[in-house]
Amino acid sequence: MLQKNTYTNKVAAAGVIAVIRAQTPKQALEISEAVIAGGLKGIELTFTVPQADQVIENLTNKYQNTDVVIGAGTVLDPISARLAILAGAQFIVSPSFNIEVAKICNLYQIPYTPGCQTLTEMQTALTAGVDIIKLFPGSVAGPQMVKATLAPLPQLNIMPTGGVSLDNMADWFKAGVIAVGAGSNLLKPAENGDLAGVTVNAQKYAEKLKEIRQN
């Protein structure tokens, strides 16, 4: 299987992608490991984290040859994208679509997931070879947006981020998304340094995902 397809499938299989933000590289690494310890398999390490590429390299080395998938988030330009890819990032996420980031991801056969809100943005992204659309902010769009979008564009792979919680996860998957991005609702205990709480939350998300997929 092509590398790009392999990584895209790993994102879909992970189902829940934890969006990691932190003040230091050490915190980012610890939060990521706490999430994985709870049973979630997807990590989006944002480039708002200092030395984000080094954290990505650490994580990809630690979890290589596993079903854990490590990506880079908040990637705004092709230079950051290339840094992340060279560090081992298996997917690239942006808050908005950037054609130059799409090109560098295609060059290295890495899935690109840009934030989009409108059908025009989504069609533009698809034309540029984008594999997964990040519906962002998800809290503004809602699951109904997924249903409405998939009607004219059934080939879309959608991952909402922003506003995803345990309470509405099932609604998103029922609407037709392939994965969800989870940030503050999942990682809130980390604000107080409670890594054990992050692991407990991750377990709840993993259990909810399993329940959704069994129904």
Cβ contact 47:72 at 8 Å: yes
Q: Specify the CATH number for the domain of residue 91.
A: 3.20.20.70
d(CA 32, CA 29): 5
pLDDT over 90 percentage in the chain: 96
What does the pLDDT look like over 66-89, one tens digit per residue? 999 999 999 999 999 999 999 999
Residue 32 has pLDDT above 80, yes or no: yes
Residue 26 has pLDDT above 70, yes or no: yes
**pLDDT for res 181:** 98
**Of 33, 44, 100, 208, which one is the catalytic site residue?**
44
Q: Could you confirm whether 103 is annotated as catalytic? A: no
**pLDDT for res 2:** 85
d(CA 112, CA 129): 8
pLDDT over 70 percentage in the chain: 100
**pLDDT for res 109:** 97
What does the pLDDT look like over 166-184, one tens digit per residue? 999 999 999 999 999 999 9
d(CA 116, CA 149): 11
Residue 198's domain spans which residues?
A: 3-214
Cβ contact 33:55 at 8 Å: no
Structural domains counted in the chain: 1
Which residue, among 176, 114, 115, 110, has the nearest Cα to 148 in the 3D structure?
Answer: 176
User: Buried b / exposed e across 41-58, counting CB within 10 Å, b at 16+?
Assistant: bbbbbbbebeebbebbbb
Residue 150 has pLDDT above 90, yes or no: yes
Residue 1 has pLDDT above 70, yes or no: no
Residue 201 has pLDDT above 80, yes or no: yes
Q: Could you confirm whether 57 is annotated as catalytic? A: no
**Taking the alpha carbons of 111, 117, 122, 125 in that order, is the dihedral positive or negative?**
negative
Give the single-character DSSP code of 63: T
Cβ contact 149:119 at 8 Å: yes
* Average pLDDT estimate for 82-99: 98
**Of 4, 10, 41, 134, which one is the catalytic site residue?**
134
